[in-house]
């Protein structure tokens, strides 16, 4: 009979002896990958088949690696929801002469899931009208007070960097928020793309699974 003492090292997470041998186990929020019988994969608690729904009706369920969070995703005051572009848009102000129907301020929501071993990751602006706009400038407008992240930008990309943090263990499994403003140009000083990204970032508790990026869409105006 094969035991955990002999083969437990082949399990990605835990191991449990059984009357006929051993089986690999995973922590809560993960399930065992049936294909390998060794590795752990994320359980998506936000699937429509979840009963009862994990979040109140007025909040969206944000799946993270090994868990989930409930957040209210809606356009802020002064913005309107554009169902065609699926973004929140701020109407142009009369004093903003560079603003028009295509380059007005917009707001997008993103949830990013990373593993503890990932020190940084890159977001690249892709716009349906101007694919791979590279002349973009980014500003960090806001972030959670204890968020272990900062930004660095170059060549139309913004890299979110995980800053050194002696208390990283205390932040695993939590969700943090950042607001990043992007202004993109195609020559001249008139922006063709102005978007604020409301980014929710979660650091998984374990190095199981794969990092993900998902765009969110408001349910309410």
Instruction: State yes or no: pLDDT of 221 exceeds 60.
Output: no
Comparing 8-42 with 95-216, is the CATH topology the same? no
Q: Which residues pair with 149 in a beta bridge?
A: 162
Rounded to 5 degrees, what angle do the CA atoms 147, 202, 67 make? 140
Residue 177's pLDDT is 94
Selection from 182, 221, 183, 195 nearest residue 105 by Cα: 195
191 or 62, which is more confident = 62
CATH of 95-216, one of 2.60.40, 1.10.287, 1.20.50, 3.90.1720: 2.60.40
Residue 89's pLDDT is 86
Predicted structure pTM score: 0.84
Across 18-22, 34-38, 90-94, 178-182, least confident range: 90-94
Average pLDDT over residues 74-79: 88
| Distance in angstroms (rounded) separating the CA atoms of residues 127 and 125 | 6
Query: How do residues 1-33 score in pLDDT, each as one tens digit?
Result: 889 999 999 999 999 999 999 999 999 999 999
- CATH classification (class only), 8-42: mainly beta
Residue 144's pLDDT is 93
For the chain, the domains span 8-42, 95-216
Residue 179's pLDDT is 93
Query: How do residues 90-121 score in pLDDT, each as one tens digit?
Result: 887 777 776 766 666 888 899 999 999 888 77
Query: How do residues 129-176 score in pLDDT, each as one tens digit?
Result: 444 556 778 899 999 988 999 988 876 678 888 888 778 888 999 999
Residue 106's pLDDT is 85
Residue 215's pLDDT is 82
Instruction: State yes or no: pLDDT of 216 exceeds 70.
Output: yes
Q: Which residue pairs, CB below 8 angstroms and at least 24 apart, start in 167-172?
A: 168/116, 168/203, 171/146, 171/203, 172/116, 172/203, 172/204, 172/205
């Amino acid at each position: 009979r094969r035991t955990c003492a002999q083969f437990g090292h082949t399990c990605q997470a835990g191991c449990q002896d059984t009357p006929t041998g051993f089986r690999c186990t995973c922590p809560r929020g993960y399930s065992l990958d049936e294909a390998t019988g060794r590795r752990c994969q994320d359980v998506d608690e936000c699937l429509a088949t979840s009963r009862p729904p994990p979040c109140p009706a007025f909040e969206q369920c944000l799946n993270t690696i090994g868990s989930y969070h409930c957040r209210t995703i809606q356009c802020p005051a002064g913005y309107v929801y554009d169902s065609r572009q699926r973004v929140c848009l701020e109407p142009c102000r009369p004093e903003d002469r560079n603003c028009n129907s295509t380059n007005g301020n917009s707001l997008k929501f993103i949830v990013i899931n990373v593993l503890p071993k990932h020190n940084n990751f890159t977001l690249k602006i892709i716009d349906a009208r101007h694919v791979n706009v590279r002349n973009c400038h980014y500003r960090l407008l806001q972030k959670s007070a204890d968020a272990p992240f900062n930004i660095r930008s170059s060549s139309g990309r913004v890299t979110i960097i995980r800053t050194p943090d002696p208390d990283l263990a205390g932040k695993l499994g939590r969700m943090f928020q950042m607001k990043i403003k992007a202004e993109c140009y195609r020559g001249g000083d008139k922006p063709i793309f102005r978007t604020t990204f409301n980014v929710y970032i979660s650091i998984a508790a374990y190095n199981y699974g794969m990092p993900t990026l998902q765009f969110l869409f408001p349910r309410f105006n």
